[in-house]
């Protein structure tokens, strides 16, 4: 359902009422309880069973209208994104996403159909290749003053002491990244009315990259299972900012070869037209939700085999160095970085 179709629906959050809303969206699902759920929806709290050999991994993320998405964003896509950005955080830790909690803050005029579409999107994104992520709790509140917001808390499992963290990078490690970088930043520009010179198809493709992240969860878990990844982070704040996070946590420096950073054909043509200033924007733009990880130099070949099997492009973009400096070069020349990363507070 599109935003325009939803506007024609009359039932709103206010007319339905909060209690009915909770009944409607957080009612227990008939049938046997999903794996690991001892008590699910419908009680005061969920009770989850954690196998003795595993650890619970949690992450939470909020999407706010006007900051992370615009009012005309398709709620179905938004629902998918809300879950996927959290799955991306668990992918960084190499954890399997299992259960989630949902908290919605809704202005009274929100159409119920909008919430329906959001929930459909969440259900869609919950079908992951690593298994279904199950909703185990949630609440809604109507807010007359605040913006619409969606908060998800995701819970997952990882083998005991096997989580991949930001702090494991070692001097000499290669820095690898999945997918392509910068399309989400261009997609956000499109959404804000920019890049008018592009054709409709290209604009839609870029917007889709911003609206619908596809975190490489299976590859992240496979890399951990093969004990290849030493450190990892998902790229939410921007490639440079997130690499800096790894460096700080691992107490190392890095050299990033900007010309090696994988770009889509669309992003490449934009850089060809606008030069390294635009490339800088793509490296700092954020919301790529790709995986940045470091591996020993001797492990790069094995990673490439795994990546090929998983059908996910992986590119070697730099080296972990001694010290604490993050050096970004473009064809041998240092690049000036005005902005260390995506700043959510300057986005609105």
**Sites of contact with Mg ion (CB under 5 A):** 89, 234, 236
For Mg ion, the closer CB: 74 or 290:
290
Comparing CA positions, the residue from 103, 109, 100 lying closest to residue 141 is 103
For Mg ion, the closer CB: 61 or 173:
61
Comparing CA positions, the residue from 227, 215, 14 lying closest to residue 109 is 14
For Mg ion, the closer CB: 220 or 261:
220
For Mg ion, the closer CB: 126 or 233:
233
The distance of closest approach from Cβ of residue 326 to Mg ion in the complex, given in angstroms and rounded to an integer, is 18
The distance of closest approach from Cβ of residue 236 to Mg ion in the complex, given in angstroms and rounded to an integer, is 5
d(CA 304, CA 282): 24
Helix H or strand E segment including 211:
helix 200-211
For Mg ion, the closer CB: 93 or 271:
93
The distance of closest approach from Cβ of residue 285 to Mg ion in the complex, given in angstroms and rounded to an integer, is 15
For Mg ion, the closer CB: 234 or 287:
234
The distance of closest approach from Cβ of residue 32 to Mg ion in the complex, given in angstroms and rounded to an integer, is 33
Comparing CA positions, the residue from 293, 289, 260, 327 lying closest to residue 94 is 293
The distance of closest approach from Cβ of residue 279 to Mg ion in the complex, given in angstroms and rounded to an integer, is 23
Helix H or strand E segment including 314:
strand 314-321
The distance of closest approach from Cβ of residue 206 to Mg ion in the complex, given in angstroms and rounded to an integer, is 22
Pairing of strands 127-128, 131-132: antiparallel
Largest CA distance in the chain: 62
d(CA 153, CA 132): 15
Between the CA of residue 275 and those of 13, 187, 272, 281, what are the distances in Å? 48, 18, 6, 10
Q: What six digits make up the tokens of 89?
A: 């955080």
d(CA 219, CA 121): 23
For Mg ion, the closer CB: 187 or 286:
286
For Mg ion, the closer CB: 64 or 300:
64
With both helix axes pointing from N to C terminus, report the angle between 75-93 and 112-126 in degrees, rounded to the nearest 10: 30
Comparing CA positions, the residue from 243, 230, 111 lying closest to residue 173 is 230
Contact 313, 178 (CB under 8 A): yes
The distance of closest approach from Cβ of residue 246 to Mg ion in the complex, given in angstroms and rounded to an integer, is 11
d(CA 261, CA 282): 10
The distance of closest approach from Cβ of residue 98 to Mg ion in the complex, given in angstroms and rounded to an integer, is 18
């Amino acid at each position: 359902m599109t935003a325009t179709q939803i506007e024609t629906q009359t039932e709103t959050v206010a007319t339905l009422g909060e209690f009915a809303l909770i009944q409607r969206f957080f009612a227990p699902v008939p049938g046997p309880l999903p794996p690991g759920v001892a008590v699910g929806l419908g009680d005061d709290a969920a009770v989850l069973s954690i196998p003795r050999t595993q650890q619970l991994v949690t992450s939470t993320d909020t999407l706010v209208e006007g900051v992370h998405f615009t009012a005309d964003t398709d709620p179905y896509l938004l629902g998918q994104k809300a879950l996927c950005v959290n799955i991306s955080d668990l992918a960084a830790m190499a954890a399997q996403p299992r259960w989630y909690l949902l908290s919605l803050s809704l202005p009274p005029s929100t159409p119920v159909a909008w919430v329906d579409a959001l929930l459909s999107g969440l259900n869609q994104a919950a079908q992951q290749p690593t298994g279904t992520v199950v909703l185990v709790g949630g609440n809604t509140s109507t807010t007359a003053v605040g913006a619409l917001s969606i908060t998800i808390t995701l819970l997952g499992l990882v083998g005991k002491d096997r989580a991949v963290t930001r702090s494991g990078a070692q001097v000499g490690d290669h820095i690898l990244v999945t997918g392509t970088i910068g399309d989400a930043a261009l997609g956000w520009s499109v959404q804000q009315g920019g890049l008018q010179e592009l054709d409709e198809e290209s604009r839609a493709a870029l917007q889709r990259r911003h609206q619908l992240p596809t975190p490489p969860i299976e590859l992240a878990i496979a890399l951990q299972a093969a004990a290849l990844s030493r450190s990892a982070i998902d790229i939410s704040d921007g490639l440079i900012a997130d690499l800096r996070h790894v460096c700080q946590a691992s107490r190392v420096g890095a050299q990033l070869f900007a010309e090696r950073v994988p770009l889509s054909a669309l992003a490449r043509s934009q850089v060809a037209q606008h030069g390294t200033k635009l490339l800088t924007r793509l490296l700092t733009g954020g919301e790529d939700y790709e995986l940045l990880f470091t591996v020993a130099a001797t492990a790069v070949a094995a990673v490439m085999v795994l990546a090929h099997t998983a059908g996910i492009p992986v590119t070697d973009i730099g080296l972990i160095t001694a010290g604490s400096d993050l050096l970004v070069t473009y064809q041998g020349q240092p690049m000036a970085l005005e902005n260390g990363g995506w700043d959510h507070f300057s986005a609105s």
